Structure 1
Amino acid sequence: MKSTWIALLEAKYKNLKAPNYSFVLDEIGKNPYAKVVEDIRRGFSINEDTDENTDISFGYVLFLAPGRDFLLRISMIAPYAFLAKIKERGSTSQPIVRENTQDAMELDVLKILESHGISMFDEKSLKIGVPDSGKDSKSLYQWMFVDEEIPPWS
């Protein structure tokens, strides 16, 4: 599976030893997930939270119900995402996947994402190091979403 991740990453970054982030502005200009956001907006309130200077993903804050705010990140690398509940002080829950929730609203969001061909990451997958080791190795979370060492659920 790591060879698949490396191929996806190299297609965007060109070189994992000296990554080229120039694709970020192109992806923002293309707005490839506009239809996804439109579908989510039909059932929930959503605000964009993408920082073109640090993000490698489109960030959104979803307001599913009073006191139930969620962070959604959809990668600019490939159609992968993670969804996490926002806790007090800005930290989040571990990423939500179909297997670890029974909540109807969370499942509704997952269903919308999946209907657009977007696959969800769980925490274990996001911790995978690519490449395997060395100074160029980073977690899939860093390569796919935000280049920060500590994910928001840590």
Structure 2
Amino acid sequence: MHPKINQIFHDILNAYGNLKKPNFHFVMDSYNSLKYQSILHDIYSLFKVIDNTDLNYDFCISIQFEHYNKPSFLYLSLVSTYAFLYYENKVINCIDTMYHEFSDLINILFSYGFILLNKNELLYEFDIDTSPFNVENQKALVLALLFSFGLSISENI
């Protein structure tokens, strides 16, 4: 297992406490923390943002903004300081040509210690039972455990 994946699994265990009986108190604790409120303030200063966050079902802050008149999506995990940026049906990473177009946003993320995940990391599947999360037939993807079982990204892009 890749060292970053090991760290992600450690962070998941640390947040949920016990994967057989997950404790979701971290969601509101993280959301209300000064760190998350500060980063949101900084992001809101860059863009006109639509907040799609649903703290009843998700483990992330979900925001939408326009970039070149196209919708862009940023997801900030409340499990730990992980994020991903989704634009034009793909996850933006450091080798993507659009990466530099989001440099101000990425600099904000990095200044708060967030790690920008790529598609392969998000689609990594842990061998754990997800039934305690009250989801049926869902894979234990990093995407689901860090952000939301309701999110999906294309594996083909």
Q: Distance in 2 between matches of 1:43 and 1:115?
A: 15
The residue type equivalent to 1:144 in the other structure is L
TM-score, normalization: structure 2? Answer: 0.79
* Structure 2 CA distance for aligned equivalents of residues 101 and 63 of structure 1: 18
Cα-to-partner distance string for 1:61-97 (whole Å, 9 max, x where unaligned): 12234x2221100000111100111x5xxxxx22111
The TM-score with structure 1 as length reference comes to 0.80
1:20-65 per-position Cα deviation (integer Å, ceiling 9, x unaligned): 2222122233253222222222222112211011110111112234
Preserved contact between residue 101 and residue 107 of structure 1 (Cα < 8 Å): no
Matches of 1:146 and 1:12, distance apart in 2: 14
Mind listing any 5+ residue stretches in structure 1 that lack a counterpart? Answer: 88-92
1:135 equivalenced with 2:129 (yes/no)? yes
How many pairs were matched up? Answer: 144
Paired residues of 1:57 and 1:73 also in contact (CA < 8 A)? yes
Counterparts of residues 26-105 of structure 1 (less than 5 Å): 26-30=29-33, 32-65=35-68, 67-85=69-87, 93-102=89-98, 104-105=100-101
> Retained in 1: the 8 A contact 2:93–2:99?
no
**TM-fit CA distance, 1:4:** 2.3
Q: Separation in 2 of the partners of 1:15 and 1:103?
A: 36
Which letter does structure 2 place at the counterpart of 1:68?
K
1:21 aligns with 2:17: no
> 1: CA distance between counterparts of 2:116 and 2:11?
16
Query: Aligned residues: percent identity?
Result: 22
- Aligned letter for 2:129? K
Cα distance in 2 between the residues matched to 1:147 and 1:11: 19
The change in CA–CA distance for 1:97 and 1:114 in structure 2 (over 3 A counts) is same
Matches within 5 A, 1:134-153: 134-136=128-130, 138-148=140-150, 151-153=152-154
Correspondence for 2:114 = 118
